[in-house]
């Protein structure tokens, strides 16, 4: 699976020069997110700051963005915000010890897939049971038409005054 990824970097080389990379990725880069039910419109931005600790390459990873999932209450799509930061130590084996404060990321440091690293973090940050945060908005019409409804109601509220003026004008005649 890793071999198919075209976004591999050499974490050891990047750590050697304390490089920081930024990536903005959509669903095409995240096959596991698709499997988990992520829908079109999903977009994640990540900042990866490479470093070294105890001889191991490390990555300070920040991910933010939105994952569109199916709301389990109304079955419409709902947006789940992702905003996470984690300190990763790249290890070849999951049993390898990692320095305190770091979490292990198992992978080949010389051919590290950024998308896989980011995808893993997004999966961890996703709600187990996605639902609209705003209960009132759950199951209702799409936000755009709701907004239009509000505008037209406001217009109607102004109309009685116009009508009143018309009536008064007529009364004067």
Question: Contact between 36 and Zn ion (CB under 5 A)?
Answer: no
In the complex with Zn ion, the residue whose CB is nearer, 68 or 104, is 68
- The DSSP element (H or E) to which 8 belongs, if any, is strand 8-9
Instruction: Single out the segment in contact with Zn ion by CB under 5 A; choices: 19-27, 48-56, 132-140, 142-150.
Output: 132-140
CB of 129 to Zn ion, least distance (A): 11
Torsional class of 69: left (φ above 0), alpha (ψ -120 to 50), beta (otherwise)? beta
> Which C-beta is closer to Zn ion: that of 44 or that of 69?
69
* Separation CA 39–CA 137 (nearest Å): 19
Q: What angle do CA 115, 38, 30 make, to 5 degrees?
A: 15
Output the smallest distance, CB 68 to Zn ion, in A. Answer: 12
Q: Which of residues 53-82 bind Zn ion (CB under 5 A)?
A: 71, 73-74
Decide whether 97 or 139 has the Cβ nearer to Zn ion.
139
Q: Determine the Cα–Cα distance for residues 73 and 79; give it in Å rounded to an integer.
A: 13
| Strands in 16-154 per DSSP E | 20-26, 39-53, 56-70, 77-91, 103-106, 112-113
Nearest distance from residue 56's CB to Zn ion, in Å?
43
173/171 Cα distance (integer angstroms): 5
Which of 29, 33, 112, 132 forms a contact with Zn ion (CB under 5 A)? 132
Question: Residues in the site for Zn ion, rule: CB under 5 A?
Answer: 71, 73-74, 132, 138
């Amino acid at each position: 699976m890793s071999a198919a990824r075209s976004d591999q970097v050499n974490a050891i080389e990047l750590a050697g020069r304390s490089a920081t990379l930024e990536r903005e990725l959509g669903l095409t880069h995240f096959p596991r997110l698709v499997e988990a039910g992520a829908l079109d419109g999903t977009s994640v931005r990540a900042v990866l700051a490479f470093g070294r600790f105890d001889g191991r390459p490390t990555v300070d990873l920040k991910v933010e963005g939105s994952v569109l999932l199916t709301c389990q209450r109304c079955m419409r799509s709902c947006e789940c915000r992702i905003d996470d930061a984690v300190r990763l130590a790249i290890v070849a084996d999951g049993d390898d010890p990692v320095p305190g404060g770091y979490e292990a990321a198992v992978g080949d440091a010389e051919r590290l897939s950024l998308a896989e690293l980011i995808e893993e973090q997004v999966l961890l940050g996703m709600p187990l049971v996605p639902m609209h945060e705003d209960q009132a908005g759950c199951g209702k019409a799409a936000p755009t038409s709701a907004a239009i409804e509000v505008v037209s109601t406001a217009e109607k509220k102004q109309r009685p005054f116009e009508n009143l003026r018309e009536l008064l004008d007529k009364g004067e005649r």
